[in-house]
Each structure stands twice: as C-alpha cells, then as structure tokens.
Amino acid sequence: MQEFITVNNLCHDYAGFDGSTVLALDNISLKIAPGEFVAVIGTNGSGKSTLAKHLNALLVPTSGDCMVAGMNTKEDENLWKIRQKVGMVFQNPDNQIVATLVEEDVAFGPENLGLPPSEIRRRVDEALRFVGMEQYRQHGPHLLSGGQKQRVAIAGVLAMRPECLVLDEPTAMLDPLGRDEVLSTVCRLNRAEKITVVYITHFMEEAIAADRVVVMNSGKIMLTGTPAEIFSDVELLKSLGLDVPVAADVAYRLRKAGVSIPKNIITEQELAVALCR
C-alpha cells in the first residue's frame, strides 16, 4: 500500500529574535499510511506543531520533502489539491469559526469550493450529524461550550471532504468533558470513515487511542511505535520531560517494587485485570 504522507529528511529553520538560525525540524523522516491514526507527542518546542503545518503546506521545508498523496508541498501548483486532501483543526476553535450561525460556519468551506446549494446542504447535514451537533445548527457559536465549538470546527473541515485530518492540540483549551467529546469524534471519523488522522497532543491518555505514537524532542523524532511499546518505556519518556498514562506509571512503580506485572500495561482496565490475577 502506498503511503498517504511521506516525509523525507525534512528540515525547517527560521530566524530567531537575535538573528540567529533556529532549527525547528531536524532531518525528519516519517511515513503515514491511508486510514492510519498517528499521535504525535513531545514537550513545548519539540517541533510537533511545526511538523503539523507541513502536512498541508502551511509551511514548506527548508530542505528535504513532504509528499501528500504523491504531491510535493514545495510545488505551488499542488497547494490547492493538497489542502483539499488534508484538513487542519487548530488549538483554539474561535480562530476557525467565521460565521454567526453553526450551519453557516460549516457551509463556509463548501461554498468556497463553488458547489451547488443542494450539495452544500447535504455536506453540512452529514458533517453536523457525524459530530453530533445537528440540534445546534441554528445556534450562535458563541453560545457553545469549548468542546462543542471544536466539534463545529471539525464539522467545517469534514464538509470539505478531506482524506486526512491534522489536529494540532485540539483539546488543549478544553475541560475533561470537552476533551472526551473531541477525541471520541476523531476516533469515530478514523474508524468509521477511514479518514487518516494525525493528532498532535500533550495529553498522553489521548495518544493511547492512536494506532501509532511518534515522540518528538528538539526537532527530531526520538521514538515511534504502538502506544503499548511507547508508554511501556516510562524512564525514557520521563527523561524527555513527558508524562505517561497513569496506569503505565503505576505499573512501572509496582514492577520496581517487585510486583510481577506485565510490561505493556497502559490502560486502567489492563492494570485492573493484571492486579486481579
């Protein structure tokens, strides 16, 4: 199967405040398959948000290449097609919501594609239904909770029919209920609609939902693997300044205390089963 996104030896630098060159991404290589759910984690300044912006050509590499569906993001003639295939959802939904009614906001993208009104209506209906916001279609976005606003922002992207969704810390400003709403929506999109997902987060419990986790540090990819493989290495993650899921941390401490318990425990359910045995 051909990869949907292929990043080869990608470097990205920019000028710092003092005029020096800052290397935000340092020789990154990564492949993402169609329909895969990849979580990217790392401390602030690790380069994960910079990487996200390369995936739909908001940024282009200083050197190396980022290929999306076989198209190079460096080539200007590819930008429109790439941005139709890869939708972005950012940390603050207020920065993406442009209309005074929910349904008008979701319709904004399809209208700019020049679609006929009947197709716009169909896409808006489907997108709102999928994110569970149908009953709020006539509401003003300012009346919604943070989690609801983010679901509207996701619906606006879905109405464009992307093949891939890149979410840059979409739950950072939300309470636990809002985080659950957004993550469950994203998981449903990935599982039911087979949409490729790249999910940037600093909440380790969210990264558990992914097929694969990529760990970034100082502009480099340090680790990549399944959630069980990544979060079982508690000492390494903590040395990189990262937290681990509570269940993984408890299991690690129990093993250090001499309790015989499997190494790949990362969820509370797995921990409960292991302890009951």
pLDDT in tens, 146-203: 999 999 999 999 999 999 999 999 998 888 998 999 999 999 999 999 999 999 998 9
User: Which residue stretches of the chain have pLDDT < 50?
Assistant: none
pLDDT of residue 15: 85
Q: Which of 130, 171, 166 is nearest to 150 (CA)?
A: 171
Domain boundaries, the chain: 5-244
Percent of the residues in the chain that have a pLDDT greater than 70, as a whole number: 100
pLDDT of residue 20: 85
Backbone angles phi, psi at 38, to 5 degrees: -115, 125
pLDDT of residue 276: 86
pLDDT of residue 180: 92
Record the tokens describing residue 193, joined without a space.
Answer: 């609609």
Give per-residue burial for 184-215: e unless 16+ CB within 10 Å, then b. ebbbebbeeeebbbbbbbbbbbbbbbbebbbb
- How far is 241 from 222, CA to CA, in rounded Å? 13
Beta strand residue intervals within 169-251, DSSP E: 196-200, 212-217, 220-225
- How far is 153 from 173, CA to CA, in rounded Å? 14
- Model's pTM, two decimal places? 0.92
Task: Give the contacts of 78 (CB within 8 A, at least 6 positions apart).
Answer: 57, 68, 71, 72
For the domain with range 5-244, which CATH number is right: 3.40.50.300, 1.10.3370.10, 3.40.630.30, 3.30.70.1060? 3.40.50.300
pLDDT of residue 1: 57
